[in-house]
Structure 1
Amino acid sequence: MTALGFLYPGHSAEDDYPRIEVLMGGSVRLHVIHTDIGEDAHRVDALLEMGSPARLGAGVEELRHSGAEAVVWACTSGSFVYGWDGAHDQVRALAQAAGLPASSTSFAFAHAVKEIGASRVAVAATYPDDVAGRFSDFLKASGTEVVQEKASGIITAAEVGTWGRDEVLELARSGDHPDAEAVLLPDTALHTAAYLTELEEELGKPVLTANQVTVWEGLRLAGRRVREPALGTLFLQKPQVVS
């Protein structure tokens, strides 16, 4: 059985991971290790501290005992806030500390956009304007065109974690754009795993969400493919044969 490790900041929507694990039929074990977020704020200084080496490193020892084959820093804003080069430095340091292949949710979005063959996307973010703008800049650095960016102005992950189906669907609808080939919903504090099929049916196009792409990225690092329609277009590619 493939085992994957996720360093998840605080407690908001971590229950998306056991839900995704069940949807994948129990063939992959998802180990979620919580990191201390410090101040819960979608503010640049707080996000830089949230993703600091000291905070990520604190979860690595527990990760080593999980049997994980790869690790993903399960935080979008706490990775893209460092910029394209800084986010690379962040995951390199994590890989060295853990002794495992490593990535982050921001790179998961960049890789997932390419996986589904999209080049133009719309961003529907929970964040304030300046933070949402940094995510769009990160995507542009990856070669993706952002045709529209919507920022909801939510300051804390705790508030985002209270959003349910209606708020998530409205966020996606309001952030969509006719020229977008896919809609991206960053923020691992947002519950989305239960709504992926409905989101794509509502918008008529692929929808990529933070916890969804984070799990997919872990699988990618471990050399696994899982086909599961309930997890959206991203999980509809032909699975890799595992001997």
Structure 2
Amino acid sequence: MTALGFLYPGHSAEDDYPRIEQLLGSDVRLTVVHTDTAEDAHGVDALLETGSAPGLAAGVEELRLSGAEAVVWACASGSFVRGVRGAHEQVRGLARAAGLPASSTSFAFAHAAREIGAGRVAIGATCPDDVAALFAEFLKETGTQVAAVRGSAAVTGAEAAGWDYGRVLALAREADHPDADAVLLPDTALHTASHLTALEKDLAKPVLTAAQVTVWEALRLTDRRVNAPDLGTLFTREPIVQA
């Protein structure tokens, strides 16, 4: 049994995690601990507060008691708004507090894009354009080129959590670009676990979503590889061997 821990901000699309656990069809247990959010908003100031060190440390003890072997901060925007250096400091602090390997959804996207050989990507974000642009900069700093960025008008995570498949697909299509090797949907408040194969079929290319890459990143931290076709290309493709 591999036990994985996730710190998740507030309440929105956390039901994607038991769904992913079921789709993995393996001896993997996912434990989600909720962190407090002072304000459920996609503004930079609110996102900086969401990912503060005290807020993350508060949920660590529960994950340790669950037997988690690795922990991931399951929030992209609450990480990438700090830039690569700040996001590294955030993860290092989380690892120290937990005494476990740690990462975040932002780094999960960078690692997952590299895993599937996506050197250039398109971003479809539920957050406003200015916040989405910060994610594009984050990816560029980590070595992934960005062909297009599409922001949206979702003001809160709760609003994004209510989007149905048609709206998620519309965002992905609007974001897509002919030069993009993959489309990224970086919001852990968005329900996507049940839609991955449909999204990839409709777009005819790999799609990376927040909950999907977050779980994959936790598995990577524990050196586990699970083949799960229902979770998209990321969970079926052979790893890219770096020269």
CA contact (8 A) 1:227 1:238 kept: no
Report the Cα distance in structure 1 between the residues aligned to 2:59 and 2:237, rounded to whole angstroms.
32
Q: Which amino acid aligns with 1:154?
A: A
1:81-102 residue CA offsets vs partner (Å, 9 max, x unmatched): 1100000000000000000000
Report how far residue 37 of structure 1 moved. 1.1
Who is 1:172 aligned against? 172
CA contact (8 A) 2:197 2:231 kept: yes
1:41-96 residue CA offsets vs partner (Å, 9 max, x unmatched): 10000000000001001101111101000000000000001100000000000000
Report the Cα distance in structure 2 between the residues aligned to 1:44 and 1:97, rounded to whole angstroms.
25
| 3-state SS, counterpart of residue 55 of structure 1 | helix
CA contact (8 A) 1:122 1:147 kept: yes
Report how far residue 237 of structure 1 moved. 3.0
CA contact (8 A) 2:25 2:228 kept: no
Counterparts of 1:12-161 in structure 2, within 5 Å, are 12-161=12-161
Report the Cα distance in structure 1 between the residues aligned to 2:12 and 2:4, rounded to whole angstroms.
20
Report how far residue 145 of structure 1 moved. 0.7
CA contact (8 A) 2:80 2:135 kept: yes
Report the Cα distance in structure 2 between the residues aligned to 1:149 and 1:165, rounded to whole angstroms.
20
Report the Cα distance in structure 1 between the residues aligned to 2:118 and 2:149, rounded to whole angstroms.
16
1:188-231 residue CA offsets vs partner (Å, 9 max, x unmatched): 00000000000000000000000000000000001100001100
CA contact (8 A) 2:8 2:33 kept: yes
Q: Which runs of 4+ in 1 moved over 4 A?
A: none
Report the number of matched residues.
Answer: 239
Report the Cα distance in structure 2 between the residues aligned to 1:238 and 1:83, rounded to whole angstroms.
30
Report the Cα distance in structure 2 between the residues aligned to 1:88 and 1:143, rounded to whole angstroms.
15
Report the Cα distance in structure 2 between the residues aligned to 1:26 and 1:165, rounded to whole angstroms.
26
Mind listing any 5+ residue stretches in structure 1 that lack a counterpart? none
Report the Cα distance in structure 2 between the residues aligned to 1:46 and 1:238, rounded to whole angstroms.
38
Report the Cα distance in structure 1 between the residues aligned to 2:100 and 2:188, rounded to whole angstroms.
22
Report how far residue 26 of structure 1 moved. 4.1
| 3-state SS, counterpart of residue 30 of structure 2 | strand
Who is 2:231 aligned against? 231
Identical positions, percent: 70
CA contact (8 A) 1:225 1:238 kept: no
TM-score between the two structures when normalised by the length of structure 2: 0.97
Report the Cα distance in structure 1 between the residues aligned to 2:26 and 2:142, rounded to whole angstroms.
33
1:104-150 residue CA offsets vs partner (Å, 9 max, x unmatched): 00000000000000101000000101100100000000111101000
Mind listing any 5+ residue stretches in structure 2 that lack a counterpart? none
Q: Which amino acid aligns with 2:154?
A: I
CA RMSD of aligned residues (A): 0.9
Report the Cα distance in structure 1 between the residues aligned to 2:3 and 2:99, rounded to whole angstroms.
15
Q: Which amino acid aligns with 2:211?
A: N
Report how far residue 153 of structure 1 moved. 2.2
Q: Which amino acid aligns with 1:182?
A: A
Report the Cα distance in structure 1 between the residues aligned to 2:62 and 2:68, rounded to whole angstroms.
10
TM-score between the two structures when normalised by the length of structure 1: 0.97
| 3-state SS, counterpart of residue 194 of structure 2 | helix
| 3-state SS, counterpart of residue 153 of structure 1 | coil
Report the Cα distance in structure 2 between the residues aligned to 1:155 and 1:165, rounded to whole angstroms.
19
1:1-50 residue CA offsets vs partner (Å, 9 max, x unmatched): 00000000011000000000001114200000000011011000000000
Report the Cα distance in structure 1 between the residues aligned to 2:88 and 2:153, rounded to whole angstroms.
27
Report the Cα distance in structure 2 between the residues aligned to 1:64 and 1:235, rounded to whole angstroms.
26
